């Protein structure tokens, strides 16, 4: 279950990007890198990251990363 899934789907549809956005929900650990390689962009809305593993993993997979400003990444 994806929190706020219905609201996200409405925003995606209204923005006209439904053909470009896929909400996949929880992904098995062994499949994570396949999703990074399929993705063009990782959008992280996290307010703070301690280690930023998702960001590092996505960048290692040559995925463009969009994040909020976080002093931990400076």
Stated pTM of the model: 0.65
Q: 58 exposed, middle or buried (CB, 10 Å; 0-12, 13-18, 19+)?
A: buried
pLDDT, one tens digit per residue, over 42-63 is: 888 777 777 778 888 899 989 9
Looking at the structure of the chain, the number of domains it has is 1
- Computed over every residue of the chain, the mean pLDDT equals 85
Is pLDDT above 80 for 39? yes
Phi, psi of 21 (to 5 degrees): -120, 135
Q: Under a CB-based contact definition with an 8 Å cutoff, are residues 13 and 21 in contact? A: no
CA–CA–CA angle 18, 57, 61 (5° rounding): 70
The set of residues, in sequence order, having a beta carbon less than 8 Å from that of 43 and lying 6+ positions away, is: 66
Q: Is the pLDDT of residue 72 over 70?
A: no
Q: Show the domain range for 44.
A: 5-73
């Amino acid at each position: 279950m994806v929190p706020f899934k219905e609201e996200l789907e409405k925003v995606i549809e209204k923005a006209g990007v439904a053909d470009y956005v896929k909400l996949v929900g929880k992904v098995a650990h062994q499949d994570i890198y396949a999703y990074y390689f399929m993705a063009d962009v990782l959008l992280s809305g996290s307010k703070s990251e301690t280690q930023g593993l998702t960001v590092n993993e996505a960048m290692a997979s040559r995925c463009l990363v969009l994040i909020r400003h976080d002093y931990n990444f400076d």
